[in-house]
Amino acid sequence: MADPQMKRTPMERTEQVIVVSTLLLLVVFTVQPLLNLLALSLSDPSKVAGFSGLSIWPAGFSPDVWLLLLQHPNVQRGIFNSIWMTAASVVIGTLGTALMAWGMSRPGLPLRRLIFIFVLVTIVFEPGIIPDYFLMKQLGLLNNQWSVIMYKVVNAWYLIILVRFFEEIPGELLESAELDGANPFQIFWTIVLPLAKPALATISLFYLVFHWNEFFHPMIYLNDQSKWPLQVVLRQFVIGGDKVAIVGAQDANNNIGIAQIDIRALKAGMILITIVPILAIYPLILKFFTKGTMTGALKG
């Protein structure tokens, strides 16, 4: 094929400019609000007053906001809770999903169809938050972080994506292992899991993003602020406008320490801290999510 650049008419070049600038406008609309908050959080706290929402460059430069927030006990506890709860969910979820998907992907499995229906029912019919809440109450898990860790720990959608993946594993490979005397557990561990590494990476990333961003269930299940993940701390501070949540009553009353910092800059810093982990794994997300969504989302 001829290079398209070669035979471009002036008309086509104008069209290209319009297309690209429309998309770049979307890029600006997407990224500018985040860059603005980043700039605000990195500004010199004394110069923050009247900082424009359009600016993406810090007014002066100071890491004070970040340092103060990262040293704050509520924020530290939030980070710790988020990391350990997310990690527990991802490990339990990925393993549980893989084990269940492997069984469901075997063509001859007795009651296979029934198990599929059993799973699909949970997607189609969700009785709502009150029955969920009462279940936690009966299990004695209210105000216990395991109520949040176990919420959708095996996600029906991800389960089905993984079943579809396992179905593609060639049968000969498994049969020859069986003839060699390997039992199903050994086959799963030594053949299936290594083959499924990309799929498992995708699923665990799905889980990672899902659980890191979860705020609703920790918000309704966990009463103790010391058990809150970062999202709930952020919500209390920024959405709820509860300055004391971060600043602390004593500092707020006396207007000392962190209370002296502009509240807008603190909020901006808090938002950014919450999305740092997502940004850190974003290259991986782009690599695995894109493929996973393109192949798994719309299976006939």
Partner 1 sequence: MAQTEAGSSAYAGNVPADSRWTRFATGFRRWWPYYAMMAPGLIFFVIWHYVPIWEAKMAFEQVRIIPPNLWVGLKNFQTLFASPVFYTVLLNTLIISAMKMAFVFPLPIIVALLLNEVRSGPLRQFIQSAIYLPHFLSWVVIAAVFIAFLSPTDGAVNQVTGLFGIPPVSFMTNTGWIRWVLVLSENWRSAGWDSLLYLAAIIAIDPALYDAAELDGANRWQKIRDITIPGIVPTIATLFILNMGLFMSAGLDQVINLQNAVNSSTIDIIDTYVYRIGLTTGEYSLATAAGLFKAVLGMALVLISHFVSKRLTGKGLW
Site for partner 1 in 64-103 (CB under 8 A): 96-97, 99-100, 102-103
Work out how close the CB of 300 gets to partner 1 at its nearest, in angstroms, rounded to a whole number.
5
Angstrom distances, CA of residue 185 to CA of 191, 192, 198: 10, 10, 20
Provide the residue type at 37 as one letter: L
User: Radius of gyration over alpha carbons of the chain, in Å?
Assistant: 25
Work out how close the CB of 254 gets to partner 1 at its nearest, in angstroms, rounded to a whole number.
26
Q: Is 75 helix (H, G, I), strand (E, B) or coil?
A: helix
Q: Could you give the angle at the alpha carbon of 150 between the alpha carbons of 84 and 189, nearest 5°?
A: 85
122 with 156: CB under 8 angstroms?
yes
Binding residue for partner 1, selected from 75, 150, 245, 261, defined by CB under 8 A: 150
d(CA 153, CA 93): 5
Q: For residue 30, state whether it binds partner 1 (rule: CB under 8 A).
A: yes
Work out how close the CB of 136 gets to partner 1 at its nearest, in angstroms, rounded to a whole number.
10
d(CA 271, CA 35): 12
Residue (14 or 253) nearer to partner 1, CB:
14
Q: For residue 154, state whether it binds partner 1 (rule: CB under 8 A).
A: yes
How many residues touch partner 1 under the rule CB under 8 A: the total is: 99
Binding residue for partner 1, selected from 209, 252, 258, 263, defined by CB under 8 A: 209
- Region of 66-74, 167-175, 246-254, 266-274 interacting with partner 1 (CB under 8 A): 266-274
**Window 160-199: residues binding partner 1 (CB under 8 A):** 160, 183-185, 188
Work out how close the CB of 105 gets to partner 1 at its nearest, in angstroms, rounded to a whole number.
10
Q: For residue 228, state whether it binds partner 1 (rule: CB under 8 A).
A: no
d(CA 131, CA 74): 31
Q: Is 262 helix (H, G, I), strand (E, B) or coil?
A: coil
Q: For residue 24, state whether it binds partner 1 (rule: CB under 8 A).
A: yes
Binding residue for partner 1, selected from 66, 77, 83, 106, defined by CB under 8 A: 106
Residue with tokens 């579809």: 164
261 with 272: CB under 8 angstroms?
no
